[in-house]
């Protein structure tokens, strides 16, 4: 149903990535797992890997993502601890739209990759 892999770029990991489908951020040294919604997000890391290894990062299309908690279908999602997804709220930078609901933490859901800020009005 969600067969739109989008474009991937390769970035060198600054530390080991222990879970695929985490949200990645770009640092001065390369790719790292995102830890907050205001990180400089680059996309979704597509596989696990070692430090200094070039890893594929999906920057558009539809990627799977790991939920940190329940997320409603259609909700805008943002990055949180460990590169997981959380429902974005007013003022948050979002990384995509949940195409399916997550009922609990660690659920893997399809996400339409989009970047923006949730309006505060």
pLDDT digit string, tens, across residues 16-35: 999 999 999 999 999 999 99
Convert the pLDDT of each residue in 42-100 to its tens digit: 999 999 999 999 999 999 999 999 999 999 999 999 999 999 999 999 999 999 999 99
Question: Domain spans of the chain?
Answer: 8-59, 63-116
Distance CA 5, CA 59 (A): 10
Beta carbons within 10 angstroms of residue 35's beta carbon: 15
């Amino acid at each position: 149903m969600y067969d739109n892999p989008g474009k991937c770029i390769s970035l060198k990991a600054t530390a080991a990535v222990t879970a695929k489908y985490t949200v990645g951020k770009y640092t001065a040294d390369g790719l790292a797992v995102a830890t907050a919604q205001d990180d400089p997000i680059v996309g979704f890391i597509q596989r696990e890997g070692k430090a200094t290894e070039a890893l594929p990062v999906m920057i558009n299309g539809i990627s799977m993502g790991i939920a940190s908690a329940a997320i409603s279908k259609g909700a805008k999602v943002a990055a949180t601890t460990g590169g997981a997804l959380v429902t974005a709220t007013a003022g948050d930078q979002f990384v995509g739209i949940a195409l399916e609901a997550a009922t609990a933490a660690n659920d893997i859901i399809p996400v339409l990759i989009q970047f923006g800020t949730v309006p505060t009005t």
